[in-house]
Structure 1
Amino acid sequence: MIGYAATNVQDEEKINARRMELYKKAEAFTQIPWSYFAGLDQYERSARRGRKNVPREQGALSIYFEPGKWAGPLNPNPDDTNPATIRLFGGYGKDGDGDGKADVHNDEDLILSIASYLQSFGTSHEHIKMALWNYYRRAKAVDIIIGNAKMFEKFNRLDLHDKVFPVPLRSNYSYRSTWGDARGWGGRRIHEGTDIFAGYGVPVRSTCYGIIELKGWNKYGGWRIGIRDLNNVYHYFAHLSGFAKDLEVGQIVEPGMLIGGVGSSGYGPPGTSGKFPPHLHYGMYKDNGITEWSFDPYPQLRMWERAERIKLRQKKS
């Protein structure tokens, strides 16, 4: 099978075109909107690297079936590619390209298999959620996949990975790497983010395409917002002075969209402010389908800042 590792923009466009072709094929077969297949495939792509003993994808798709689910839980041959014996043992594997094999590494077989599985529960939104729950047994996985599908449906394209710096580059701000530093308020803990110091009320922007998962007060972070992107990364914005008008949990956001302002809220009950200089606490958390952990956002921030400056200079020239 041809490998689909992208090395440049043209490769990425080619891969996305192939993926969209497969998603549309599944839609035609099941009458389930293509965005659900895209959302599931994207979830698997982001989670795959966190699973042990799972090979990198060999084709355009990252949809993953455990051997027992593909070949059947009681099948003595977990690598079985015979559609008849797979069906006999209750496996999900299907022959999608008519070559007489149900190959878990074949894109045509993968898309037909996941399409048949979802369709077996029904084609409505609630039926699809039931199918996803039955497969993953993890509510968070279901929510993330549905969120991905909503984004793909809204923008009607797959290349939704652009990023921007969280505050306007024209504003007066400063930051350095502070991830892992000790923090004492509320008990000993480490700092899970980067502090970007700026004036009170400086606009705070969404750094990514994503879904707002959380909005409200936290005694540590004050007024804060959490956004989940398509790579299953949770972006955490804390110590805000307030929120942008009409911003709601479940809403889709895009890079550069206003979500709030820099503030000094937190370290106390709702409304507490002024216990430290105004700044944006920006954190990033990765979910691998099993657990979630914090990682240092500083390198990403530097990269986004640099890329945005280059784009601005190109526009002026």
Structure 2
Amino acid sequence: MTQKFISIEGISKRFPATGGGTTTVFEDLWLPMERGTFTCIIGHSGCGKTTVLNVLAGLDRPSDGAVIVDNQAIEGPSLDRAVIFQSHALLPWLTVMGNVAYAVSSKWRGFSRAQVEEQAQKFIALVGLSGAERKRPAELSGGMKQRVGIARALSIAPKILLMDEPFSALDALTRGTLQDEVRRICLETGQTVFMITHDVDEAIYLADRIVLMTNGPQAVLAEIVDNPLPADRARNDVHKHPLYYAVRNHVVDFLVTRSKSYSDAGKAALDRRNPPLVRPGMPEPAVVGGDSLTSSWPGSSRPSTSQAG
């Protein structure tokens, strides 16, 4: 990677255990993310994915380590980081405009009413809810409520958009439509995104990189999968890409088999600062005089050396 916009540096999380001692949920996680990239993290329940997201949001503190965003350590919640939860978390007494405007006025306290509504309207339109500004949450479908949550999050121009399985409670058609909207918006705005999902196809469709975590307790980052699909991808064409099934099979194999096979010794043997960077289906790069001759998608698996430090 060329620039660490977000840098997770050696974070661990421990909780008091029943009967004394401590339980380590995850330990010594290192992960850099570039500005404008979409990162999905996948792992079985109990590996600490949501805790990692809460640390990024400033809602929780790591037991060890730190998270640096745009050269500043995270010390607590900030309007520079917006979170979209599994539930929409809208204020039921406010309209669509009111919910989004509330976020805008919190970020820019000097804005006039007209400026607040102009900013809110821009993002209400961006998620396709023009005409629904005066409706309250009780008058909206589940998909529309999530659209309001997305508009509210994006309206404050966050440095990072954090999403905790935001589409998991929706029907398949609505989920697909919102995935398309999020993909379009992120491409248009250059938004940096960190998302938790259990849906492999969702991760492949949305993400630039897919981070795989071993099972907890004492979970660690096992691999970072580079997504070979082009940035400008269409849902109907994703499965036609020649490397789609190589990526999908690799991630599914990890979740079904390999994630469960890491012993304590196996986890200890991993290079925590440089999780393997994996490109399924691609040949190893040619090496001449010690330097790799790389194509646009070189190597099937090699250390992500630029993450060190």
Shorter-chain TM-score range: under 0.3
TM-score, normalised via structure 2 length: 0.27
In our comparison, the structure showing a higher alpha carbon Rg is: 1
